[in-house]
Structure formats: C-alpha cells, structure tokens
Amino acid sequence: MSDRALLVLLAAIAALGPIATNLYLPALPAVREHFDASVAAVQATFSISLVSFAIGILAWGPIADRYGRRTAVLSGLCIMVVGALVSLVAQDLRWLVAGRGIQAFGTATGIVVARAILSDLYPVERMSKALAQVTMVAVLGNALAPVFGGFITAGFGWRAIFAALLVTAAAIGIAAWRSLPETRPPTDRLPRGREMAATAWQLIRMPLFAGCVLQSAVIYATFLVFISLAPYVMVSAYGRPTTEFGFYYLFIAAGYFLGNLSVSRMMSHHDLHWMVVMGVLMSAAGAVVALVFVALGFTHPLWIFVPIGVYAYGQGLALPNVTATAVSLAPQHAGVASSTIGFLQQIIGALSVQWMGHFSTDTALPMMLFVAVVCVLGLGMLYVFPRVEAGNRGHSLGK
C-alpha cells in the first residue's frame, strides 16, 4: 500500500468520530423539539459521547499496543455500527444518549490508531507533517458533514443521520479490512496492563507532556463548546434555520485546513515551538475579536464566524505539533501516549460542554466569553511549560 493511499485510509478512519459529531450537530435543535427536552438534557447526547470517546481513547491505545493496530480498528468500527443502530431506533432520550455513547466509544479507535501507526512509521518531524496531512484530508469530510447533516435533518428527520453513519462506517470498515497493514513493531513480550498504566503515569508527570495535554485541552474545550452551542445560538439568538450552521461551519473547516496545510509548508523553515506559539496566538486573537463583536451587539453570524475562522487556523497550526511532540515522548508505547493525551483532552472538553449547556443560548455572549477567556489562558501557558521542540524527544521515556 502506497504512503498516499495509507494516509487517505487513516484520514477516513480518524475522521469517523468528528464526522459522526459534525453530522449530528445541526440535528440538536430538532432532537430537543422531538423529545421536548431542555438544552442541558439534549447536550447530554453530545457530552456523554465525548466522555465515551475519551474512555475509548484511553482503552484503544493499549489494545492497539497489545493486540495490533488492525484488530483495534476493525473492532472499533463494529462497535460504532452497533451504536449507530441503537441511536437510529431510540424511542427516548436515554436510549439516544446510550447509542451515542456506544458509537463514540467505537469511533475513538480511529484517531488513536492513526497516531500510533504514524508513530510506528515516521520520526517525530515527519510524523507531525503526516499527521497534518491526515487531518487535512479528514477536514474535507468534516467540513461537509454539518452541511449534509442540516439537509438530512431538514429533509428526512434526525434519525436519518444515523442511517448515513451506518453506511459510512460499513464502507470504511470494508476498506480497512482489505487494505490496512499491521504496523506494530515486532516484540518478544506484549506490554502488560500494569506496565502501560505506569507509562501513562510517568508521562503525566513529565512537564513537557503535561504542557502538551493542557494546550490540547484548551484547543478541544473551546472548539467543542463553540460547535455544540452555535447551532442553538443560530436558531434562538439569530433566528436562522438549522441548515445555515453547516455553511458557516465552513469558515472553521477552511481555517483548520489551511492551518494544517501551513504545518506541511512551514516545517522546513520553522521549528515546532514557533508554529505552536503562532497557532496559540492566532487562536486567542480570533476568539477575542469575535467576543468584542458580540459584546458590541453585532448580530450577523459573519461577525462571529470570520474571526473564528482565524481562531481555527491557529488551532490547525498548533495542534499537530503539540500532539506529535506528546506521542513521541514514549516511542515504545505510542498507543499509550496517544490514549493518555486524547483521554484527558476529551474529558476536559466534555466537562466544559456540559457545564456551558446550562447557560443561555438566546445570546452568543456566554459561549464566546468562554472561548476567548480559555484561549487567553492557553496563551499564558506557553510561558509556564517547556518549549515544544523536536529536540525534546531526547528526554522521552526509555531514552
């Protein structure tokens, strides 16, 4: 299998989780109306899936290290199909929450195993570029998902979202079963659970890894809060139809795509730390500008989504470098490192989403205040934790 074909397949596998989320986002107001529930109650279908995704991330890394990358991917896809089916036939909100949780646990295998496979194949500098390339391909699908989700919901109802996910998961599963190679390094002794837990604990205690975790948590928490509350804000505060969110989401997708593209282009001219600093700075600037526009009373969605596009560019520039640095710190346990950072960032994101679900969506001010404040805190963290450099790989576990 060629490198390009492998990257496309990994992108499809890694994108399943975000696609499942983004396809569902425009349906949130319709789900709320169908079950006659509060925003906070319906947010549980989103936040519980984030918690389940986080648990899945924590589980699939060690599974991939112990039983192989292929086994983890194919098992996760089967679980996703089950969860999508439960969601499709759910008759009350509790079953929909359960189905979303099962589905999210299965899709969590994608990003974890993609990172582990890239770590198996490439050194940290090349891995950062490959991870950005995988993300660029994935973002194309993610960008279209809210658009299709809005039209699917408007034309066929919110349940049709899960029928579409069943078909998508089946197609990617067949491609993975036929073509995905096993890249786990050969070993005479499979890692044990206690050993992998000890590795995760050692990583968390490393200042550089802790800094990567917190910086990625800032990126995920602000992003997840924004995309989960924006559909309600579009309907309640701006009086816009659900389908419009998908089109405005393209600003986020384009920004993130261009940020990832810049990683590939800038790798030969700038080090990882410079790209992280610039990315975090641009994210904070975009979020603060959007907050100012909201505070001044500008009500057209463009006043939010244009600066949020800049914010997304910064995230796309910073996140691949932060993630590649974190995973490279445990070269013998790439799955564990990927799981650990993924679990912590998703849990923090899920708690943020559920907490913000209790604030009013009749105005964009609470949502944008959270995003801007947390992004500024992320900017401050750059001066607390060690530099994110490829050279720090020399301080990794086992070195």
Q: What is the CATH number of the domain that holds 65?
A: 1.20.1250.20
| pLDDT value, residue 260 | 80
Q: What angle do CA 367, 371, 375 make, to 5 degrees?
A: 170
Q: State how many domains the chain has.
A: 1
**Tokens standing for residue 146:** 């809210």
User: Exposure pattern of 229-261 as b/e (b: 16+ CB <10 Å)?
Assistant: bbbbbbbbbeebebbbbbebbbbbbbbbbbbbb
Which range of residues forms the domain containing residue 110?
Answer: 3-395
In the DSSP assignment, the letter for residue 190 is P
pTM of this structure: 0.70
What is the Cα–Cα distance from 291 to 366, expressed in whole angstroms? Answer: 9
- pLDDT computed for residue 389 by the predictor: 45
Q: What does the pLDDT read at residue 322?
A: 84
DSSP of 227-248: HHHHHHHHHHTT---HHHHHHH
* Average pLDDT by stretches of 10, the chain with 399 residues: 79 85 86 87 86 84 83 92 93 93 91 81 72 71 79 90 91 89 69 69 81 87 90 86 81 87 77 85 96 93 94 91 78 71 83 87 92 94 64 48
| Per-residue pLDDT at 370 | 96
- Residue 271 CA, chain-centre distance (Å), reads 24
Q: Residue with structure tokens 């969506």?
A: 361
d(CA 76, CA 20) in angstroms, rounded, equals 14
pLDDT for 12? 86
* 280's tokens: 């975090």
Q: What is the pLDDT of residue 145?
A: 82
**Whole-angstrom Cα distance, residue 273 to residue 277?**
6
Residue burial 27-52, b: 16+ Cβ < 10 Å; e: rest: bbbbbbeebebebeebbbbbbbbbbb
pLDDT given at position 334? 66
> The tokens of 346 are what?
């998703």
Nearest one of 92, 345, 88 to 215, comparing CA atoms: 345
How big is the chain by its Cα radius of gyration, in Å?
20
Q: Could you tell me if 324 and 45 are in contact, meaning their C-beta atoms sit under 8 angstroms apart?
A: no
